[in-house]
Amino acid sequence: MNDTAPAVSQDRLKQLVLEAQRRAPLDVAQILLEENDATVGAVLRQLHPAPAYRILLRFPKERRHAIVPLAGDNVSDPWKEAQRYEENQVGRLMEPVVAKVGPDDTVKTAIERLREWVHEALITYAYVVDAENRLLGVLVMRDLLLADPEDRLKNVMLSEPFSLRPDMKVEDAMKQVVYRHYPVYPVCDDAGCLQGIVQGYMLFEHQHFEISAQAGQMVGVQKEEHATTGWHRSFRMRHPWLQINLVTAFVAAFVVSLFEDTIAQVVVLAAFLPVLAGQSGNTGCQSLAVTIRGLTLHEFKPGVFRKALIKETMLGTLNGAVVGLVAAAAMVAYAIYSGANQPMMLGLVVFLAMTGACVASGMTGVLVPLTLQRLGADPATASSIFLTTATDVVSMGLFLWLANLLVLS
């Protein structure tokens, strides 16, 4: 949708605003997704900044930028504040605070204000701040209802409340909130000043999206791409990685071309090239998946890299040897059936090549993402492309070299 579509009628606009005031942000966003950007902006202009911004965050990234200029200060102010932070920081998910009260206000005063605030936004907690906007405590609705109407809020509030920092990475915030399960978290700067609030579900949703994006990133699909992303933009994001993959595939093809004479003399070798490449590739992908998970969970403390490398080397040896025995038996049977010379030696070649390729693949699955991280790149980005190249070169090259050495010498 875009803002070039015909303007919506006033009756339709009133209906959409009413729906936005009654429904949850996700439901409202689903309704507004079918409207053009100008209509969405007009609806958000008539809402309180907090729910308006929360609805905006439910839109795809490419549409947010188009909607913000059309939504007025309701959205542009919190949007500008959020843009100060990186995409993976809590500040990007932060929304304005509606319910702020002073420590010397009475319970009665707070309740009267809450009756007004609930018409503007969904209120879960009220926040007690001092004159410098430093967060002093949090008010839970149950405590307010049971307290004496004339009691001061400083006597009712939960003091020293848990809070997040706006510059904190979402994954670090997730580790702190995973056992708390609060619906809303206050966000404070280093001085303790209340900057905004972040919905608990937004943290979990953002982290879920980051994790779901890793599988695509390993094959060159950017995390910004969704099922609804236009094909033009998807093409621009995907195609460069396919060109890189083509170049790396040429490297593997070049290695095979070095042994053309070997393949010509022992034709049965050609049938087992994809077997070696596929098996070693799967071994490498298993190692890569575990390494990426470890990096995501910050498990690679000092000394862990060496342990991980030794572990994947041992697993590659064991898996390669067991699989290699089966593949060797298949090669012997196929060589006898095809009338090839030295079927037992060909079986030995397959066994040694499979074992060596799986060892190399397991080690590469650890080395590729860690190397990308050392170079300052995202360790998940296109790791699979580099891993595939390494496993193809090693498995095919080792297989044909051993065949040349043991069978044709």
- Which residues, in sequence order, are CB contacts of 90 under 8 Å at separation 6+? 164, 165, 166, 167, 168, 169, 170, 173, 187, 198, 203
Residue 107 — very low, low, confident or very high, per pLDDT cuts 50/70/90? very high
pLDDT in tens, 343-361: 999 999 999 999 999 999 9
Asked if the model's pLDDT at residue 216 lies above 50, the reply is no
- Looking at the chain, the whole-number percentage of residues with pLDDT higher than 90 is 31
pLDDT in tens, 111-129: 999 988 887 777 889 999 9
**Pairwise CA distance, residues 369 & 390, whole Å:** 13
- Looking at the chain, the whole-number percentage of residues with pLDDT higher than 70 is 89
Asked if the model's pLDDT at residue 334 lies above 70, the reply is yes
pLDDT at 400: 92
pLDDT at 228: 54
CB 357 within 8 A of CB 279: yes
pLDDT at 11: 84
Asked if the model's pLDDT at residue 383 lies above 90, the reply is no
pLDDT in tens, 145-202: 889 999 999 999 999 999 999 999 888 888 788 777 788 999 999 999 999 998 887 7
Residue 372 — very low, low, confident or very high, per pLDDT cuts 50/70/90? confident
Mean pLDDT of 233-239: 72
pLDDT at 5: 47
Write the class of the CATH domain 100-215. alpha beta
CATH code 1.10.357.20 for 220-406: yes
Domain ranges of the chain: 10-83, 100-215, 220-406
CB 241 within 8 A of CB 385: yes
Residue among 370, 198, 241, 362 nearest 296 (CA): 370
Residue 178, number of CB atoms within 10 A of its CB: 11
Range name among 291-295, 314-318, 322-326, 376-380 with the lowest pLDDT average: 376-380
